[in-house]
Structure 1
Amino acid sequence: MKKNIGATDKLIRSAIGIIITILYYSGIINGILAIVLLAFAIILLLTSFINFCPLYALLGINTNKKT
């Protein structure tokens, strides 16, 4: 897997994932929406940790300036 997520993209993904997780555990969001957003947050955090987004690969997007 070639890294296709840059530093800014990684920071934004991590921040959004953490915010959604905090909203879920504090009880601000609940129900089906909470489950969907939590799954989305997990995906964002996972892709930011491995620096690879499969959707970016399919669309030919690369925000990593080092490659």
Structure 2
Amino acid sequence: MKKNMGNADRIIRIIIAATIALLYFNNIITGTLGIILMVFAAVFVLTSLISFCPLYTLFGWNSCSTKSRDLVK
């Protein structure tokens, strides 16, 4: 599996996931919306950890530099 996410993209996703988790655990977002957003946050963290986003593959996007992409091959 080739990397297709750059460092900036990964950091942004982790910040968004942390913000969603903070809002959820402080009961600012609750109910069904809270659960759905927590699932998105979990997906953001998972894709950030493995540096691969399946949606990027579908759309042909790549935010990873060629230098770090070649190291993973």
Q: TM-score, normalised by structure 2?
A: 0.88
Partner of 1:51: 51
Q: Is there any run of 5+ residues in structure 1 with no aligned partner, and where?
A: none
After TM superposition, list the pairs within 5 Å mapping 1:26-65 onto structure 2: 26-65=26-65
Residue 58 of structure 1 deviates from its aligned partner by 0.9
2:5 pairs with 1:5: yes
Residue 63 of structure 1 deviates from its aligned partner by 0.1
Residue 8 of structure 1 deviates from its aligned partner by 0.5
Q: Structure 1 residue runs of 4+, over 6 Å off?
A: none
Q: TM-score, normalised by structure 1?
A: 0.95
Q: Which amino acid aligns with 1:7?
A: N
Residue 28 of structure 1 deviates from its aligned partner by 0.7
Percent identity between matched residues is: 49
Q: Name the CA distance, whole Å, in 2 between partners of 1:52 and 1:25.
A: 27
Superimposed CA distance per residue, residues 7-51 of structure 1 (whole angstroms, 9 cap, x where no aligned partner): 110010000001101111111100110011000000001000100
Q: Is there any run of 5+ residues in structure 2 with no aligned partner, and where?
A: none
Q: CA RMSD in A?
A: 0.7
How many residues get paired? 67
Q: Name the CA distance, whole Å, in 2 between partners of 1:3 and 1:18.
A: 22
